[in-house]
Amino acid sequence: MAVIKYSRQREAIKEYLSQTKEHPTADTIYMNIRESYPNISLGTVYRNLNLLVEMGEVLRINGMDGSDRYDGHTQQHYHFLCNKCHKILDLEMESIDHINDTANKDFPGKVEGHVTYFYGKCNECK
């Protein structure tokens, strides 16, 4: 699998993810793509999501309910999880990448990055 060939299924997944502001699971994506490609396979969705994540065109967020979620907006941003309604929202805030340096200070290995999400109450729930 050296050369990556075009596929309309993959294009549809990319398109769907770039249009939604939700952070859907693989299964939700599958259900949605099925409306335009009724016999797309769930395996195809997973394989392409992995490809897209690897190519850096999609972000994988591992939700705390066991299933991964995907985000087509790849500019650096942070997520907020509402403790009450369990919604995932985007946070607009300045970068906190300096915490990598803080972590690296006395660590024998090499810290390359971090994953952070914030939690609390969203506007409607507070």
Partner DNA sequence: ACTGTATATAATAATAACTACTATTATTTT
Partner DNA sequence: AAAATAATAGTAGTTATTATTATATACAGT
- Site residues, DNA (CB under 7 A): 1-10, 25-27, 37, 39-44, 46-48, 50, 65-68
Which is nearer to DNA, 60 or 73 (by Cβ)?
60
Contact between 49 and 29 (Cβ < 8 Å) = yes
Does residue 55 interact with its own copies by CB under 8 A? no
| Inter-residue contact 91 to 79 (CB < 8 Å) | yes
- Name residues whose C-beta falls within 8 Å of residue 36's C-beta, 6 or more positions apart in sequence: 12
- 120 scored as a contact of its own copies (CB under 8 A): yes
Which tokens is 125 given?
A: 């729930």
Q: How far is the CB of 109 from its own copies (least distance, A)?
A: 4
- Cβ atoms within 10 Å, residue 51: 16
Q: Decide whether 9 or 74 has the Cβ nearer to DNA.
A: 9
Asked if 19 interacts with its own copies (CB under 8 A), we say no
